[in-house]
Amino acid sequence: MWLSILILVGAVVWAFVYMSNSRGGRDDGPYTEHRTALDVLQERYARGEITREEYEQMRRDLS
């Protein structure tokens, strides 16, 4: 009887610790990447979301 309760409590504690450490797959630690506006602009151009003319104009606006 006591062994069953102890195993159940241990499983609940383990599940709580596991869920609190996983944080839903999100990592907001000290090594998060900080992207600049120019980085975002270059990515949009590379994906084809904006034309070359739009890219060059926006790049001039950011400079």
Q: Residue 59: pLDDT above 60?
A: yes
So where are the chain's domains? Answer: 35-63
For residues 42 and 14, the model is more confident at 42
Alpha helix (H) residue ranges in 1-63: 2-22, 37-47, 52-62
Q: Is 49 helix (H, G, I), strand (E, B) or coil?
A: coil
CB 52 within 8 A of CB 46: no
The letter for the amino acid at 21 is: N
**So what's the pLDDT on residue 24?**
55
Tens digits of residue pLDDT in 27-44: 555 666 788 999 999 999
The pTM score is: 0.48
pLDDT at 26: 57
Q: How far apart are CA 21 and CA 31, in angstroms?
A: 17
Average pLDDT over the chain reads 84
